Amino acid sequence: MLRRIGAALTFDMEAWVSEIDVPTLVVAARDDVLVPSACSVRLAAKLPQGRLAPPAYGGHACNITQATQFNALTVPFLRELEGVS
């Protein structure tokens, strides 16, 4: 567990995240206690084609705890990508 915490504390995406230049949806619940919402906001802002979809609640596993809301956010995004190469 300590190694996982250490890895999370030292992970730094700042130098290369702007190179991810594809449509990217960052789904991050505002009540996520593992990854604070400010981190998700910063990630989406640094991605050239990033878009933030912040459900109000659902925690770190909002795709499971709030599956209907997650699908409502992600399915339209994926449909926009149909035919995009």
Domain boundaries defined on the chain: 2-81
**40-70 pLDDT, tens digit each:** 999 999 999 999 999 999 999 999 999 999 9
- CB–CB of 31/57 below 8 Å? yes
Query: Which one has a higher pLDDT value, 71 or 35?
Result: 71
Summary mean pLDDT of the chain:
91
Provide the 8-state DSSP code for 27.
E
- CB–CB of 8/35 below 8 Å? no
